[in-house]
Amino acid sequence: MAARTWNRLLHDRPARVAAAVLAGAALAALLAPLISPFDPALQPDPVALRLVAPSWQHPLGTDPYSRDVLSRMLHGARISLGVAAGAMLLSATLGTALGALAAVVGGWADAVVSGLVDILIAVPRLLIIVALVATFGALSPWWLVVLLGGSGWLTTARIVRAELRDHLHREYVLAARALGATDWRITWQHLLPAVAPQVAVAAALALAAVIPLEAALSFVGLGVQPPLASWGNILLDGADYLTSAWWLVVFPVAAITCTVGAALILADRLRAAIGGERAP
Amino acid sequence: MTSLLSVDALRIDAPNDVPGDAASDVRNGTRRTILHDISFDMAAGETVGIVGESGSGKTSLALALMGLLPHGLRATGRVTFEGRDLLTLDDRTRRDLRGRRMAMVFQEPFTALNPRQRVGAQVAEMATAHGQRDGRRARLDAMAMLERVGLAEPEDRAQRYPHQLSGGERQRVLLAMALLLAPVLLIADEPTSALDVTVQAQVLEVLRDCQRERGMALLLVSHDLGVVAGTCHRTIVLHEGRIVENAATREIFTAPRHPQAAALVAAVPRTGPPGTRA
Amino acid sequence: MSALLSVRDLVVEYPSPCGRVRAVDGLSLEINRGETLALVGESGCGKTSLGRAIVRLVRPTAGEIRFDGTDLLALSGEPLRRMRRRAQVVFQDPKASLDPRMSAGRIIREGIDIHHLATGAEADARVGRLLGEVGLSRSDAGRLPHEFSGGERQRIAIARALAVEPEFLVLDEAVSALDVIVRAQILGLLAALQAERALTYLFIAHDLSVVERIATRVAVMQRGRIVECAPTRQIFDAPAVAYTQSLLAAIPRVPW
């Protein structure tokens, strides 16, 4: 990313806060096995310890199966954020690659990719995934990454294609061609670095979209399956106790809201940072 | 003798690091002081050229006179126009003055025009924005002005959008907008730098004609002494934010005193039909 | 003695909303080794299209371009890449012709890397020498384009072109966007480089006065064709065609 964009971002308070939130969540997820007070699947006393409100022993309470909610939230972060990050990376990579292919190679490649995007973009993502799960059964987190990532590349591809097509006519690209640079070299050395900030924005937005998607799928029982924890299925476990055991709802929702909000703020600040540097 | 325009110890600073590209970005960031202690006078009907290289502060000077300095740049000193200090005026009076008494033409007409509005309407809007109630009258005046500035087929061009016109045509539209309300001072900031030399000659001729016809004062800013030579009786040479010469244009050519002025004179290609070459 | 560059009946067309536009309309010219041919005309006359067609950035619709006897339009792949070394281009806009994300050193090095002319320290040494040759310093290699002035950026663009050791340079309005003083300096640099490296130039411009000192011959272009082509002195002292005369008349006259 250009030094000046990066600089602007570093000095931007909302961006720093948002980044810190995401970094904190990621850290918690990574260190989950080390810092969880309990085993997330452990059901020590399904009778006495079920639905205990937040206390010193269980800071976030316990769920209907007496499992410690804090530990489940931490391990759930691993899954929820992991799936989201994986899907984001997959969709960013696919989107960039296909967008670049369409822009640089043009012709048939452009027709195929653009046609594909135009058709798929009208298809409701969630419905397709639900249909697939209904057909093939519940999905492992890996499959979730593939499905969510494989369906989220469309906007990135459009953005990359539009940006690169514009850049292809710039004189510094012409100069590289005149020197004898191959399309490959031009794409890697000149075009992709130019579009990297916009891809970062699209990726942040993709992250913000996937976290709730995964939570929603898990909530309806189609995503991450127990005993694996995810923020969505913690909510599912607490579905019947919404009014009595508030901690089963508040914490997962808060976690989702905070991470999605942070991702959105980051995307917005990044867009603002880029905006100041766009050359006509 | 009271001058039309009197600049007194004008100084323009960029007090903090102006983010991004500032007006004079040269080597390692922005300059702190763009103009130092600029003082000069202009009489009514006079033609004065302001010549300097990129970064000398000439565009900032032009913008400061019009009250159009970008945010972050601060102007101190005194700029007296028709007896009033422009730097202390409130925005409303400023805007009223702009267009009616003083007008500006920019280098890149494309960015100065609204891309979504037909050019004829944009010219007419100059009149309506300054109190002309009769829309029809405004349109007629606009058309007459477009013809006066030498726009070929004005009825056709007036219906077009800026991107549908050539560079020279756009510049003429800008000129029409500037001259519509008969200002007493026209500031032209590199009006021909983005144009072909043939179009440049035509636009300069229109400028000269309009200036003579209306007895309008003209401040012509350029990096090229050659452009200024045929149009301005007096020339001010700016170098690194300071005035280094202020004399009759002829004198600057025949006996330049400051090395920067001498360099500018030397850089003017002396060609033309046989007999005029140096 | 055959010409270094020979263009015959060249046609370059572009699609446009109202059918096809002929930017270059059956044009022929020859450039001899070591000379500077100035190509002068107003915006839209096709001179930029011609320049770009010659360095194979634009595909001509018809006609022939021969460089040192080789049919340029018949080349592709590796032979084309090797041929590109011999003819380079410098563009008009110093802001747009350098990748804003690359340092000056990296920009100049690109040609060296593409053609495997040198690697590592040897390549860096070449970049340093080239910077010196165009009037910049070695320490400028690490700086980004926005840290340079317009004239300095053009010097970097020239160094980039020279890095692959070309014989022929297309200068597409290379000084038009510069201040007069800087313009004179860059013209001086180009003249010096031409002598040192035995270069041949195609100098494209819209202003005749710019080319008077540097050109051996001048070709005047109007609407895709050449209307007059003669040695420089003849064009300035005794222009044959009315259009050329009008171009001369447009040059600002200094009465003193």
Are the C-beta atoms of A248 and A237 separated by less than 8 Å?
yes
* pLDDT for A87 beyond 80: yes
Rounded-to-integer distance, Cα C35 and Cα B213, Å: 48
The confidence band for A202, taking pLDDT boundaries of 50, 70 and 90, is very high
Determine the average pLDDT of the residues in B171-192: 91
Does the CB of C148 have a partner CB in chain B at under 8 Å? yes
The confidence band for A276, taking pLDDT boundaries of 50, 70 and 90, is low
The confidence band for A137, taking pLDDT boundaries of 50, 70 and 90, is confident
Least confident of A135-144, B175-184, B265-274, C189-198: B265-274
pLDDT at A121: 87
- Angle (nearest 5°) at CA C249 between C247 and C252: 105
Task: Kindly determine whether residue B230 and residue C183, on different chains, have CB atoms separated by under 8 Å.
Answer: no
pLDDT at A117: 93
Q: Decide if domain A66-275 falls under CATH 3.40.50.300.
A: no
Least confident of A25-34, A37-46, B72-81: A37-46
pLDDT at A211: 92
pLDDT at C125: 96
Q: Are strands B234-239 and B242-248 parallel, antiparallel or unpaired?
A: antiparallel
Q: Which residues pair with B6 in a beta bridge?
A: B41, B80
Does the CB of C93 have a partner CB in chain A at under 8 Å? yes
pLDDT at B276: 43
pLDDT at A280: 38
Are the C-beta atoms of B268 and B225 separated by less than 8 Å?
yes
The confidence band for B277, taking pLDDT boundaries of 50, 70 and 90, is very low
pLDDT at A210: 92
The confidence band for B271, taking pLDDT boundaries of 50, 70 and 90, is low
Q: Which chains touch C (3 or more CB pairs under 8 A)?
A: A, B
Q: Which chains touch B (3 or more CB pairs under 8 A)?
A: A, C
Task: Kindly determine whether residue B267 and residue C208, on different chains, have CB atoms separated by under 8 Å.
Answer: no
From the list B171, B115, B172, the residue with the least C-alpha distance to B149 is: B172
- Give the chain C residue whose CA is nearest to the CA of B274: C237
Domains of chain C, earliest start first: 1-86+168-256 (3.40.50.300), 98-165 (no CATH)
Query: Strands across the sheet with C70-71, in order?
Result: C19-31, C5-16, C62-67, C70-71
Give how far C239 is from chain B: nearest CA, Å: 9
Per-residue pLDDT reduced to its tens digit, A231-255: 888 888 888 887 888 888 888 899 9
Determine the average pLDDT of the residues in B213-230: 92
pLDDT at B221: 95
Which of chain C's residues have a Cβ under 8 Å away from the Cβ of B263? 181
Give how far A53 is from chain C: nearest CA, Å: 55
The confidence band for B16, taking pLDDT boundaries of 50, 70 and 90, is low
Token pair for A125: 């993502």
pLDDT at B29: 46
Rounded-to-integer distance, Cα C165 and Cα A53, Å: 78
Which of chain C's residues have a Cβ under 8 Å away from the Cβ of B267? 180-181, 183-184
**Dihedral sign from CA coordinates of C106, C112, C115, C120:** negative
The confidence band for B270, taking pLDDT boundaries of 50, 70 and 90, is confident
pLDDT at B26: 41
Per-residue pLDDT reduced to its tens digit, A4-41: 777 777 888 888 899 999 999 999 888 888 888 888 78
| Nearest-CB residue to C100 (from A175, A177, A279) | A279
Q: For chain A, state the CA radius of gyration.
A: 22
* pLDDT for A55 beyond 70: yes
Q: Which of residues 8-47 of B touch A (CB under 8 A)?
A: 19-20
pLDDT at B254: 92
Determine the average pLDDT of the residues in A45-53: 78
Which of chain B's residues have a Cβ under 8 Å away from the Cβ of C235? none
Determine the average pLDDT of the residues in A120-134: 82
Token pair for A15: 């961006």
Q: Which of residues 3-22 of A touch B (CB under 8 A)?
A: 4, 8
Give how far A208 is from chain C: nearest CA, Å: 29
pLDDT at A219: 86
Rounded-to-integer distance, Cα A207 and Cα C111, Å: 39
Which of chain C's residues have a Cβ under 8 Å away from the Cβ of A189? 99, 102, 110
Does the CB of A2 have a partner CB in chain C at under 8 Å? yes
Give how far A251 is from chain B: nearest CA, Å: 41
pLDDT along chain C (256 residues), means of 10: 87 87 93 96 91 94 94 92 95 93 95 94 96 95 93 96 97 93 94 96 94 94 95 94 93 83
Sequence spans of domains, chain A: 66-275
The confidence band for B272, taking pLDDT boundaries of 50, 70 and 90, is very low
Whole-prediction pTM: 0.87
Does the CB of B253 have a partner CB in chain C at under 8 Å? yes
Q: Which residues pair with C192 in a beta bridge?
A: none
Does the CB of B248 have a partner CB in chain C at under 8 Å? no
Q: How far is residue B90 CA from its own chain's centroid?
A: 22
pLDDT at A260: 94
Rounded-to-integer distance, Cα A160 and Cα C181, Å: 41
**DSSP strands (E only) in C35-156:** 36-40, 62-67, 70-71, 87-90
Q: Which chains touch A (3 or more CB pairs under 8 A)?
A: B, C
The confidence band for B217, taking pLDDT boundaries of 50, 70 and 90, is very high
Are the C-beta atoms of A143 and A151 separated by less than 8 Å?
no
Task: Kindly determine whether residue C182 and residue B53, on different chains, have CB atoms separated by under 8 Å.
Answer: yes
